[in-house]
Structure 1
Amino acid sequence: MGLLSLMWLHGVMAKELRIVTIESAPFGFVGKDGKPTGMMYEIGNRIATEAGFTYTNQITPYARSAHMVARGDADFVLRYRSTELAEGAIPVAGVLSLPTIVVGKPALKCRSLADLRGKVVGTPRGGRFDDAFDAEADIQKYQVSDYSQMLKMLMNDRIDAALGSSIGLFYNAYLLGIKKEQFGKPLVLSTQTFELHFSKKTADDETIAALRAAVARLKSRNEVRKVVDKYLNSFDWEMASR
């Protein structure tokens, strides 16, 4: 008898998982129809379904998502690692790796972080994307509420460059009607991974094993990439992972 069958017999699968998804397009947002949607919203739901669980999924502000999981008010979230998550959650499986990039207009020749010294670079509020960038004291970091605001500021010359995940930047550029030709060559800083983080307060070995196996199966069938490509196929979001 397989692992999943044994888990069904012991009632493990009867529990309903409480998922939280970070509020940041395209990862998690409310669509025009008023319903929650988004790339990580869909992927989180697929993981729970693949593992055999029922679930709820709530779109939650970025900072609050870590606190909810750490307190046990939610069971898991898909997001980058952080100090808050390390204290209260178990990293179960890597789900999607994304390049962290800096983009500016074509006139900005950016080949290294040194080229950004003395410049103003927009960054998403509350996010940590690259340690080397954070350590550059001569780069002025300007925190903004979301990617859309940051890109509007870039196009209006209120900041010199924008930092974030390739998908976060390029998806919002697409929504705003910004063409890839309006950007210079992106500076790729590093790669960060969205991981499934499960609350230490609600974890059990069987649930963790089921979710880890579900992620592996979905990735082996290319299901994660299919969700990503549905949201973003007009930009080369995988530039750093080849």
Structure 2
Amino acid sequence: MFRKLSIAVAAIAFFAVSNTGNAAELYGTLKKIKDSGQIVMGHREASVPFAYMGPDGKPVGYTVELCNRIIDSVKKTLKMPNLKVKLVPVTSQTRIPLLANGTVDIECGSTTNNLTRSKQIAYLAVTFITGTKLAVKKGSGIKEIEDLNGKAVGLSLGTTNEKAIKRIAKVKGLKIKYHMVKDHPQGFLALVTDRVDAYATDHSLLAGLITSSKDPSKYEIVGRFLSYDPYGIMVRRDDSAMQLLGNTVLADLMRSGEINKIYDKWFTKKIPGKPAVQLPMSSTLKVAFEVQALPY
């Protein structure tokens, strides 16, 4: 499936930075930040290893680190080294509305970039590529979505995973029981306690949930990819200055190769409060970084 994604990623990179503008112009998000004296970061609380609450009670993770690099650039651009950073937890249901209505200025989590959502918000460059898979208990006999016929699956509300599973089930005529949850820990708990036969979400998030569980040896990720989910940091629509600032930071990290080190830090080594996820960078993501490392 991912053999075709390099072209798609290149296209996403083009559209992600096609809106240009002078980051020094004070309008939109940058003007709001300057006037209020603070930038508001919306973050997930349990999307390991992208954005989750660390041992000290503060959000940490791969996407959070990238967002902090962007915030550092905002401070430099606005000449506000002591800019206050306000942290606001978001969920899969609240992340887009809170960004669109101005409550948060940047969303740092595990959000799939798609055209439907782009009608409400904008995305920066692709920072991760994943897809929907199934987490099951070993020995369940479930290997593909077709094996869920007559069984129950946990789905997080408002996610692309929910849409993917329901769409495929409808096309194939599968009778699957849907157990809707508010977040990933709740969905995985439903699997642990046998309220569902599988929990479906992005394979990277499933890896984090399993490695963080009490007994990872009891669970496995199975099946083919059921969706294509390129992740991106969200900012508000029609704000070319903020988009350019964010994409410049990300392009610099990709061009220098520093983003590879950041990735390894969060996906291949022990992370704060959690064991190592052990998810080496895919060849598709490497290509994505290469094609998005735009020159000056």
TM class by smaller structure: 0.7 to 0.9
Q: Deviations over 1:152-209 (max 9, x none)?
A: 3323322111111223222222222222x322451232331221222126x2x33322
SS of the residue 1:189 aligns to: coil
2:246 paired residue number: 211
Within the candidate set 185, 192, 195, 1:155 is matched to 192
Whether 1:228 aligns to 2:266 is yes
Deviates more, 1:22-31 or 1:69-78: 22-31
Structure 2 residues without counterparts, runs of 5 or longer: 1-21, 78-82, 286-296
In the alignment, is the contact (CA less than 8 A) between 2:92 and 2:158 conserved in 1?
yes
Q: C-alpha separation between the residues in 2 aligned to 1:183 and 1:35? A: 29
CA distance in 2, matches of 1:173, 1:89: 31
Preserved contact between residue 100 and residue 130 of structure 1 (Cα < 8 Å): no
Give the residue type in structure 1 aligned to 2:72.
T
CA deviation vs aligned residue, 1:43-83 (integer Å, no higher than 9, x gap): 21123325645562432233222111111222222422468
User: For 1:72-124, what per-residue CA distance to the aligned partner results, in whole angstroms no more than 9, with x for missing partners?
Assistant: 22222242246874332122321211232102122233343222111101112
TM-score if structure 2 supplies the norm length? 0.66
The residue that corresponds to 2:58 in the other structure is: 35
Please give the alpha-carbon distance, in whole angstroms, between the structure 2 residues aligned to 1:191 and 1:233: 24
| 1:218, distance to aligned residue in structure 2 (A) | 1.9
Work out the CA distance in 2 between the residues paired with 1:198 and 1:42. Answer: 16
Contact 1:151 1:162 (C-alpha < 8 Å) held by counterparts: yes
2:222 to 179, 183, 186: 186
Residue pairs, 1:10-25, within 5 angstroms:
15=34, 17-25=39-47
Q: 2:104 aligns with which of 56, 67, 74?
A: 74
Q: Under a length normalisation based on structure 1, what TM-score does the superposition of the two structures give?
A: 0.78
**Cα pair 2:235 2:242 within 8 Å, conserved:** no
The reply to whether residue 63 of structure 1 matches residue 98 of structure 2 is no
Identity within the alignment, %: 18
1:133 shift after superposition: 1.4
Q: Where does residue 3 of structure 1 map in the other structure? A: none
* Alignment equivalent of 1:123, drawn from 152, 155, 166: 155
Q: Shift in Å at residue 134 of structure 1? A: 1.5
Unpaired runs of 5+ in structure 1? 1-5
Q: Secondary structure at the match of 1:73?
A: coil
Distance, in Å, in 2 between the alignment partners of 1:145 and 1:152 is 12
State whether residues 92 and 157 of structure 2, in contact with CA within 8 Å, keep that contact through their aligned partners in structure 1. Answer: no
Cα RMSD after superposing both structures: 3.2
* 1:234 to partner: Cα distance: 4.2
Count of residues in Structure 1 that have an aligned counterpart in Structure 2: 233
Q: Indicate yes or no: 2:145 matched with 1:109.
A: no
Q: Higher strand fraction: Structure 1 or Structure 2?
A: 1
Supply the AA of the counterpart residue of 1:69. L
| Whole-angstrom CA distance in 2 between matches of 1:82 and 1:92 | 12
Deviation at 1:227, TM superposition (A): 4.4
CA contact (8 A) 1:70 1:89 kept: yes
CA distance in 2, matches of 1:63, 1:195: 17
Q: Output the amino acid matched with 1:41.
A: V
CA contact (8 A) 1:100 1:163 kept: yes
Query: CA contact under 8 A between 2:23 and 2:241: conserved in structure 1?
Result: yes
Is the 8 Å Cα contact of residues 99 and 241 (structure 1) preserved in structure 2? no
